[in-house]
Structure 1
């Protein structure tokens, strides 16, 4: 079609997500038609106010393999716009090493953040070809950088230079007591990846004799250096499946559910792992769930992983001492990759790795799976695609301010990561959606009608036993007295004249995508405040993350903390899943003297790919309000079991909640039974495990056939 035509298509696309998809055509045409004219066309796009088109032009330059295009791309590392500098650092990794870019990329690594991660990734891709020059550049940079965090990032990058030229420097830094502990830790962790290099074992052994984090990391580094044999698990024991979510402290008791990024996915992985190994029909005998955790626990987990061939076991990946929200965790890519590799090596045979998120964990895990030859199953969702589309439609995201938002949300990188993970997966799993084929094609760019045998639709599921027990106990006025005592304490600040009102309730993370602050704002500024109280279950209120703090500040701007209870707003913080289930039952059935019955559940998310908390609320018998796209539209009967609405529109959200309250006030047992039975028949965790079993077995069979055809022993 030609470069100009492709560029015009990007500029004239009806939506931002459409323009992002068309950027691939622009890059293709630029690579197919290099030359002075093409460079001029791209330069004009770079200098315009349309930031979506400008970013597309950056990546188009990366597809042109000539010296002038390379100089232009390198020059963008010094652009006044942060988003252009960031995308230039990323795009350079697609081409050959450029010595004129190396110094500025090293500077970006030292500065840190998401841009630093991209620069480090590009340098790693170049490292084999220019190992000596890169080592010299990093050593020179270290001479002029004193700030510990920046030095640690440079040392970590030095550790990615695989040739042994970097080993001497790393050993010296690890042994240097004058260096900051974080810098020495970066060197020690890097040494653990350099098996075969001489002179590493003795300094690490000496450090292990000490105390604190440095000794703990040195212990893990020695474990990493061990040449573990490839242990094959007997096939009569079934498959070993690994799954991960690194932005949560996942434990069997789900004690941290709802804090930070520890949302529904953490609950799902615990319950799903248990269900997979409990049902012999799935063919799965061992599930390994990876999440973040402290360094000492990581070493303990390795012993269990190496000795257990059955059951649901957990492996912790040590990231940082303090939890980091997912949006800020990208600089932990190398640390995450090393921790994931360590766990999968210790586990022996892992038949496949199931990835679910377009985050740093999946980015790192995909690298490890490729290195170890482990096939990947990827659950594909239009995320962040659906968020971009919602913000675009609401006018909250425009072409002119896209770059600034992208610096924070990393939309462009995450959309490309979804495409990469999906295209390289042995099998993809899809959530049910009303227009699944259309959405996957238009939003993500995946044609699921091509090779349909590689795509399977699997609905998520909930533990219905927990919910039914909560409802039964509340109906009988009995059950977990501790959970009810906690609820009474949480609601104790409500004034007497509000205790006869029903509740609007929402369960989930305090994150802008989940819309908790939006819900508070809509409730507080409308007649809903006179008609109901509002209960939000989720978030770490004592030690909020950056995302949680942003939501809390928005909530405080509407209703200051000191006046929340008086106004009828209760922020209860995160609670274990079984306690949250009992509180949902209480919102529906009421608790005498504490809260009135016939409340409703509201999910104000910008998007909801499926909605575990929604299903739990429906199984409880609550009338629900949910986004009108994605998974909820496939199981909510609008006006009967719930109300579907455009949650990004405050007027429509308010009207939907009013409508749900009207239906809930009728106290219709038929509606309650219909919602419960729908969940029972379609969306239990057991049915989800049963649906995934054939997917996992099929991938394992296909992998065995590949090994056999390649002449390897299965």
Structure 2
């Protein structure tokens, strides 16, 4: 059995594995230990909310430590420094593999296999995207000649789509570009609490800046094949200005959507936190962004005009 997250669900799976006599593999990351040292170093614990956050983070530390103890094998997620940081937080792993630390198997994406109707389907996706500026999921057709920013992922505070929207508006980028956010439920009433938080924040920004509304599209989640088809349609489109992919997440352990966008040929700007720097090198094949706030995200994104090409990550 394999568990990935340091939470009670993974502990339950670990206990089930023990009772069944099955082997347990745990994929560990420097978080939550790193998160505790970074997030709670100041005065956050002096408030009731801060103390509750600390309690939850410490419980995740407890869960991660128990999983490391119980696992038959621990593997890490690849990063620029290998698993050295992981060993700093889990010193009991220092002696694994004759002192080399846990293995970090390389990650990747499934090779794109063009659909039989790839080109016409891509054109239909573009037509639907630019069908009307008065619908939340579509853009103003008159804006088709503007540069386009695309981000794909589940709507979640960690993914920070709302921070991207704020940066796009407050920096004035909405005056000369469009923004497409793909992700979330087709019906808002079926969204979970985390998604509702992001939706509410984006809706507030849209209402406060009606001049940006027609250039912002919040598209419900698409099948992976359609996302990759849309990305390639944007790359080859002769009627749409240069499209770029941006990942505003607070961090990404790996960033599958980032790598898929690079594979499609889109210039990419992505968070510098997590596993993305393992394959994206700033100003070489993309931009690494400081996504800790909307102003910093906007400042970093403005440098994307320097990225003329995006070499294949392969």
TM-score normalised per structure 2: 0.86
- 2:156 maps to which residue? 511
- 1:485 maps to which residue? 124
Q: Does 1:403 align with 2:61?
A: no
Q: CA deviation at 1:405?
A: 2.9
Q: Is the 8 A contact 1:512 1:551 kept in 2?
A: yes
Q: CA deviation at 1:646?
A: 2.0
The partner residue of 1:616 within 246, 260, 271 is 260
- 1:455 maps to which residue? 102
Output aligned runs, 1:135-284, within 5 Å.
none
Q: Is the 8 A contact 1:358 1:418 kept in 2?
A: yes
- 1:430 maps to which residue? 76
Q: Does 1:652 align with 2:300?
A: no
Q: CA deviation at 1:604?
A: 1.1
With CA pairs under 8 Å and 6+ residues apart, which has the higher RCO, 1 or 2?
2
- 2:32 maps to which residue? 384
Cα distance in 2 for partners of 1:564, 1:379 equals 45
Cα distance in 2 for partners of 1:568, 1:482 equals 23
Alpha carbons of structure 1 residues 646 and 562: separation in structure 2 relative to 1, 3 Å: closer
Cα distance in 1 for partners of 2:262, 2:125 equals 23
The partner residue of 1:663 within 277, 290, 306 is 306
Alpha carbons of structure 1 residues 376 and 504: separation in structure 2 relative to 1, 3 Å: same
Q: Is the 8 A contact 2:150 2:179 kept in 1?
A: yes
Q: CA deviation at 1:554?
A: 0.8
Q: CA deviation at 1:632?
A: 0.9
Alpha carbons of structure 1 residues 586 and 480: separation in structure 2 relative to 1, 3 Å: closer
Q: Which runs of 5+ in 2 are unaligned?
A: 133-138
- 2:66 maps to which residue? 420
Q: Is the 8 A contact 2:109 2:259 kept in 1?
A: yes
RMSD: 2.7
Cα distance in 2 for partners of 1:572, 1:562 equals 19
Alpha carbons of structure 1 residues 655 and 389: separation in structure 2 relative to 1, 3 Å: farther
Alpha carbons of structure 1 residues 497 and 491: separation in structure 2 relative to 1, 3 Å: closer
Q: CA deviation at 1:641?
A: 1.0
Q: Is the 8 A contact 1:440 1:447 kept in 2?
A: no
- 1:627 maps to which residue? 271
Q: CA deviation at 1:588?
A: 2.9
**Deviations, residues 158-194 of structure 1 (Å, cap 9, x unaligned):** xxxxxxxxxxxxxxxxxxxxxxxxxxxxxxxxxxxxx
- 1:560 maps to which residue? 207
Cα distance in 2 for partners of 1:605, 1:354 equals 25
- 1:599 maps to which residue? 243
- 1:440 maps to which residue? 86
Cα distance in 1 for partners of 2:234, 2:67 equals 41
Q: CA deviation at 1:490?
A: 3.1
Q: CA deviation at 1:570?
A: 0.6
- 1:500 maps to which residue? 145
Runs (4+) off by over 6 Å:
none
Q: CA deviation at 1:446?
A: 3.6
Matched position secondary structure for 2:2: strand
- 1:256 maps to which residue? none
Q: Is the 8 A contact 2:250 2:273 kept in 1?
A: no
Q: CA deviation at 1:568?
A: 0.9
Q: Does 1:570 align with 2:213?
A: no
Alpha carbons of structure 1 residues 651 and 391: separation in structure 2 relative to 1, 3 Å: farther
Alpha carbons of structure 1 residues 656 and 587: separation in structure 2 relative to 1, 3 Å: farther
Q: Which runs of 5+ in 1 are unaligned?
A: 1-352, 681-714
- 2:230 maps to which residue? 583
Matched position secondary structure for 2:219: strand
- 1:78 maps to which residue? none
Alpha carbons of structure 1 residues 530 and 390: separation in structure 2 relative to 1, 3 Å: farther
- 2:135 maps to which residue? none
**Deviations, residues 10-53 of structure 1 (Å, cap 9, x unaligned):** xxxxxxxxxxxxxxxxxxxxxxxxxxxxxxxxxxxxxxxxxxxx
Cα distance in 2 for partners of 1:590, 1:360 equals 47
